[in-house]
Amino acid sequence: MTVAADLADERLVRSRGARGALDVVWNRLRGGDLGSLPVIVGLIVICTVFYSLDPRFLSSFSLVNILTYAAPVGIIALGIVLVLLLGEIDLSVGSVSGMAAAIMAVLVVKEGQPAFVGLLAGVAVGAVVGIAYAFLYTVLGIPSFVFSLGGLLGFQGVLLYVLGSDGTINLPDGSGLTEFARFSFVSGAAAYVGVAIVVALYVASRLWTIRQRRAADLSAPSLLGVGLKALALAAGLGWLTWYLGVDRGWSYSFLLFAALVVVVDLALRRTRWGRHVFAVGGNEEAARRSGVKVTRIYVSVFVLTSTLAALGGLLAAGQQTSVSQATGTTDTNLTAIAAAVIGGTSLFGGRGSAYAAMLGIIVLQAIQSGLNIVGVDSSVRFMVTGGVLLLAVAIDSVARRARSASGRG
Q: Confidence class of residue 197 from pLDDT cuts 50, 70 and 90?
A: very high
**pLDDT at residue 403, as a whole number:** 59
Half-sphere exposure of 133 (CA within 13 A, CB side): 36
**pLDDT at residue 387, as a whole number:** 82
**pLDDT at residue 30, as a whole number:** 62
- Tens of pLDDT, residue by residue over 321-378, are 999 988 887 788 888 998 898 888 888 777 889 998 999 999 999 998 998 898 887 7
pLDDT at 291 over 70: yes
Cβ(96)–Cβ(155) below 8 Å: yes
**pLDDT at residue 1, as a whole number:** 44
pLDDT at 48 over 90: yes
Distance of CA 259 to the CA centre of its chain: 11
pLDDT at 9 over 80: no
More confident position, 185 or 219: 185
Backbone angles phi, psi at 323, to 5 degrees: -125, 130
- Tens of pLDDT, residue by residue over 257-287, are 999 999 999 999 889 999 999 999 988 999 9
More confident position, 225 or 181: 181
Rg, the chain, Cα only: 22
pLDDT at 316 over 70: yes
**pLDDT at residue 3, as a whole number:** 46
pLDDT at 395 over 90: no
Q: Confidence class of residue 221 from pLDDT cuts 50, 70 and 90?
A: confident
pTM: 0.90
Burial class from Cβ neighbours inside 10 Å (0-12, 13-18, 19+) for residue 313 reads buried
**163-177, 222-236, 385-399: which range is least confident on average?**
385-399
Q: What is the mean pLDDT of residues 313-325?
A: 93
**pLDDT at residue 31, as a whole number:** 59
Measure the CA–CA gap between 359 and 34, rounded to whole angstroms: 14
Q: What is the mean pLDDT of residues 385-407?
A: 71
Q: Confidence class of residue 384 from pLDDT cuts 50, 70 and 90?
A: confident
**pLDDT at residue 7, as a whole number:** 47
Give the mean pLDDT of the chain.
Answer: 87
Give the DSSP per-residue string, 347-388: TTSS---THHHHHHHHHHHHHHHHHHHTT--HHHHHHHHHHH
**pLDDT at residue 19, as a whole number:** 62
Q: Residues for the chain: how many in total?
A: 409
Backbone angles phi, psi at 322, to 5 degrees: -165, 165
- Tens of pLDDT, residue by residue over 133-183, are 999 999 999 999 999 999 999 999 999 999 988 788 999 888 889 999 999
Burial class from Cβ neighbours inside 10 Å (0-12, 13-18, 19+) for residue 211 reads exposed
**pLDDT at residue 349, as a whole number:** 79
Backbone angles phi, psi at 188, to 5 degrees: 70, -145
Q: What is the mean pLDDT of residues 241-269?
A: 95
**pLDDT at residue 4, as a whole number:** 46
**pLDDT at residue 295, as a whole number:** 95
